[in-house]
Amino acid sequence: MGSCQQFILNDTANTAYARVAPHGRDLRQPVLFVNGDWDPICDINRSRLGEPMRRSCHDLSVTNLPAGYWVHLERRTELTQAIRSWLKTKGLQ
């Protein structure tokens, strides 16, 4: 099963949870979004895709890496460093 198909299948569960989620569906915990500079699908810097996330995440950090859609494959070391740095900054490490 492809990743897009899995996402669609989980959409029902996500929608059901959103109806009853605490805090009016907003996320209060720290959130890290890693944006690939060359991602044609999920780039939030050159599109409006990030607006709902920015509204719903009260403590959102965005990190950009020079990668496309598969950040975890293209920039494994840099991604790990970005996550570790973010965890340390947030006092979560």
Q: Under a CB-based contact definition with an 8 Å cutoff, are residues 72 and 79 in contact?
A: yes
Residue 14 lies in a domain: no
Q: Which domain holds residue 70?
A: 25-89
Residue 7 lies in a domain: no
| Confidence band of 8 (pLDDT split at 50, 70, 90) | low
**Which tens digits make up the pLDDT trace of 24-77?**
778 899 999 999 999 988 888 888 989 988 999 999 999 999 999 999 999 999
Residue 36: inside a domain, yes or no? yes
Count: domains in the chain: 1
Residue of higher predicted confidence among 14 and 52: 52
Look at residue 18 and tell me whether its pLDDT is greater than 90: no
Dist. CA 93–CA 88, nearest whole Å: 5
Structure tokens given for 77: 């070391």
